[in-house]
Amino acid sequence: DAGVTQSPTHLIKTRGQQVTLRCSPKSGHDTVSWYQQALGQGPQFIFQYYEEEERQRGNFPDRFSGHQFPNYSSELNVNALLLGDSALYLCASGRPRGSSYEQYFGPGTRLTVT
């Protein structure tokens, strides 16, 4: 099991463009969460998907949207990119049992907006 995988590894986009990031969860996991990690900061929660629906959302604008597919993989879409969207985007997967659960992180996608 390769664990959580993300693609692409790096991405450079221009301000105003749109971007799609992809995540495949660890085998056996059905929940995917996305985090944004700006330079020098800890990861910040964007949203969480379970059963192909967005279940929780952090304090991010509607420009950030996502999707979960029947095979549990997920996409993060960001529209109208801003310079401030430059960050490492992390995907984490897990299998909730009870009130909380262990999340496994992917290596991240480094997005640079110029």
Interface residue list for another protein (CB under 8 A): 3-4, 31, 33, 35, 40-45, 48, 50, 55-56, 58, 90, 92, 94, 96, 99-108
Q: How far is CA 70 from CA 5, 25, 51, 114, in A?
A: 17, 12, 8, 34
Smallest gap from residue 61 Cβ to another protein (A): 17
Smallest gap from residue 21 Cβ to another protein (A): 15
Smallest gap from residue 17 Cβ to another protein (A): 27
Three-state DSSP state, 31? strand
Q: In the complex with another protein, which residue's Cβ is closer, 66 or 94?
A: 94
DSSP calls for 40-73: TS--EEEEEEETTEEEEE-S--TTEEEEE-TTS-
